[in-house]
């Protein structure tokens, strides 16, 4: 399956609020396979459709980087019906290469969504799984993790990015 190009900050497509998935079937399965291969190629543990320029509420994940299409997690149209507690941990993003920062997230979430066939799913998650769900769902709402940082840290990121850009490294 072809590896897709991952859009990076400050690409305006990353600010888009994605449309719900309404058509489940072979075309979606093909897109999911491409997304999984693109995620493993980096490798990353999650990838949202908007990161490869596809306007759909869809993300794939694989915390173990199994590179096994049978094991890749698929989430369409996610919604959180419960978010509780708070936890800060280091995050990175394939769309913000070379940068990580501690981000505050809910410690536990209950996510309701659709699977690749359109069947309803409900997942109660904590730890890295909960963090990844929130990070990827943010992508589908046009939000990058750097927007979750304090104004001070975000300002530091932007200054660093501009410096790299001036040097031709970004």
**Per-residue contact flags (x/-) with Zn ion for residues 66 to 105, judged by CB under 5 A:** ---------------------------x------------
Determine contact, residues 51/16, Cβ cutoff 8 Å: no
The C-alpha atoms of residue 74 and residue 119 are separated, in whole angstroms, by: 11
The C-alpha atoms of residue 22 and residue 102 are separated, in whole angstroms, by: 35
Of 77 and 137, nearer to Zn ion (C-beta) is 137
Q: How far is the CB of 25 from Zn ion (least distance, A)?
A: 27
Q: Is 111 in the site for Zn ion (CB under 5 A)?
A: no
Q: How far is the CB of 143 from Zn ion (least distance, A)?
A: 10
Site for Zn ion in 17-36 (CB under 5 A): none
Determine contact, residues 90/135, Cβ cutoff 8 Å: no
Of 15 and 118, nearer to Zn ion (C-beta) is 15
Active-site residue, 136 included: yes
Q: How far is the CB of 144 from Zn ion (least distance, A)?
A: 7
- Name the percent of the chain in helix, strand, coil, to the closest 5: 35, 25, 40
Residues 6+ apart with CB under 8 A from 155: none
Catalytic residue among 86, 90, 136, 147: 136
Of 60 and 93, nearer to Zn ion (C-beta) is 93
Instruction: Give the sign of the dihedral formed by CA 20, CA 26, CA 29, CA 33.
Output: negative
Residue of minimal CB distance from Zn ion? Answer: 93
Residues forming the site for Zn ion (CB under 5 A) = 93
**Catalytic machinery residues:** 136
């Amino acid at each position: 399956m072809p590896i897709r190009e991952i859009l990076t900050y400050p690409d305006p497509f990353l600010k888009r609020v994605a449309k719900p998935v309404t058509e489940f079937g072979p075309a979606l399965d093909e897109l999911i396979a491409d997304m999984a291969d693109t995620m493993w190629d980096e490798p990353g543990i999650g990838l949202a459709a908007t990161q490869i320029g596809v306007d759909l509420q869809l993300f794939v994940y694989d915390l173990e980087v199994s590179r096994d299409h049978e094991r890749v997690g698929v989430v369409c149209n996610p919604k959180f019906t419960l978010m509780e507690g708070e936890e800060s941990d280091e995050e990175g993003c394939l769309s913000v290469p070379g940068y990580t920062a501690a981000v505050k997230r809910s410690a536990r979430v209950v996510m309701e969504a659709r699977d690749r066939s359109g069947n309803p799913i409900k997942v109660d998650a904590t730890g890295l799984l909960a963090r990844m769900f929130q990070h990827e769902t943010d992508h589908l709402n046009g939000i990058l993790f750097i927007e979750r940082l304090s104004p001070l840290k975000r300002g530091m990121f932007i200054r660093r990015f501009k410096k790299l850009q001036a040097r031709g490294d970004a």
